[in-house]
Amino acid sequence: MDAVRPDMPTPPGRKPRRPAPARQPLTQDLIVETAVRVLDTEGLDAVTMRRVAQELGTGPASLYAHVSGKDELRELMLDRVAAEIRLPEPDPARWQEQLKELATEIRRVWTAHRDIAKVSMGGIPTGPHLLAVAEVQLELMRAGGVPPRIAGLAVDTLGMFIDADAIEDTIYTARTPPGEDPWEYFRGHFEEITAYFRALPADRFPNIVGMVDELTSPSGDERFQFGLDILVRGIASYVAPRDGD
C-alpha cells in the first residue's frame, strides 16, 4: 500500500504525524558550539566526537569532514570560549593594573565554562582569539618597558597561574551542591581544618599553629589577586629605571 500523502487528512484512529524538524547544515561552527554546550553542562570529559554527534543527531564519522579529531575540537572550543574575554585598550601608564585586570577577566571566562582551563594548560595558543589575548598581554608589558625575553616568558607564566587557579576553582565548584556558593559550602570544611591546625603540637609546627587565621581565612579571589600581584611585581622588577624615576 502506498504511504499516506502529506496533503491527505489523518485517517480515523491514527495519530497525526509530526513533521520532522529541519536539520541545520553541519558546519565546524555548529560542531564547536555544540561541544561547548556539552562542556558547560557535563564537563570536558563528556566532550567526545560520539557525544557531540549524538547531540547533532548524526554519526561521528560526519564530524570528521569538519574537525580532524578530539584534540582539534578541544582547541577550537578553547578559542571559541576565549572570544568572550574582554580586551582592554592598552594604557602604558596603567600597564601593571591592566595586566592584572586582563588576568582576572581570563579567569572569569575560564571558570564560567567548567574545566575548559584543562585545555589551556600546557597548550600553545594558535587560534585567533587566543592570539589576540597574548598580543594584548605582550603589548601591555612592552609598553611598560619589560624586555622582550621577560615578556615572552611572563605570558607563559601568567597563563599557567590563571589556568591552575581556574582548574582548582572548577574542582571546588564540582563538589558543591547545585545552587550553593562554593565558598560558603566549604566554610564548614575549612572550620574543621582550622580546628585541626590549632590542635597540632606547637613545638613541632609553631608557625602553622601561630598563623592559622592567616593560612585559612582569605577567600579564593583574594588568594588569586595576591598571587597575581606577586607575579606582576616580579615582571615589573625587570624594567630598567628611566631618568627621573
Helices (H), the chain: 28-42, 49-56, 60-63, 70-82, 95-112, 117-120, 128-143, 148-174, 182-185, 187-199, 206-210, 212-216, 220-236
- Which stretches of the chain drop beneath a pLDDT of 50? 1, 20
* pLDDT of amino acid 16: 67
* pLDDT of amino acid 13: 67
* pLDDT of amino acid 12: 73
Report whether CATH 3.20.20.70 matches the domain 28-82.
no
| Domain 28-82 and domain 92-236 have a common topology | no
* pLDDT of amino acid 161: 97
Cα–Cα nearest to 70, from 46, 48, 42: 48
CA 96 to chain centre: 22
Whole-angstrom distance, CA of residue 110 vs CA of residue 187: 24
Domain ranges of the chain: 28-82, 92-236
Please give the model's pTM, rounded to 2 decimal places: 0.83
Cα–Cα nearest to 168, from 110, 225, 215, 83: 110
Using alpha carbons only, what angle is made at residue 207 by residues 203 and 210, rounded to the nearest 5 degrees? 90
* pLDDT of amino acid 6: 58
pLDDT tens-digit readout, 179-217: 777 666 666 677 888 899 999 999 999 999 999 998 888
Helices 128-143, 148-174: crossing angle, 10 deg rounding: 130
What is the CATH number assigned to the segment(s) 92-236?
1.10.357.10
Whole-angstrom distance, CA of residue 163 vs CA of residue 198: 32
Whole-angstrom distance, CA of residue 162 vs CA of residue 182: 19
Cα–Cα nearest to 173, from 230, 239, 107: 107
* pLDDT of amino acid 221: 87
* pLDDT of amino acid 1: 46
Tell me how long the chain is: 245
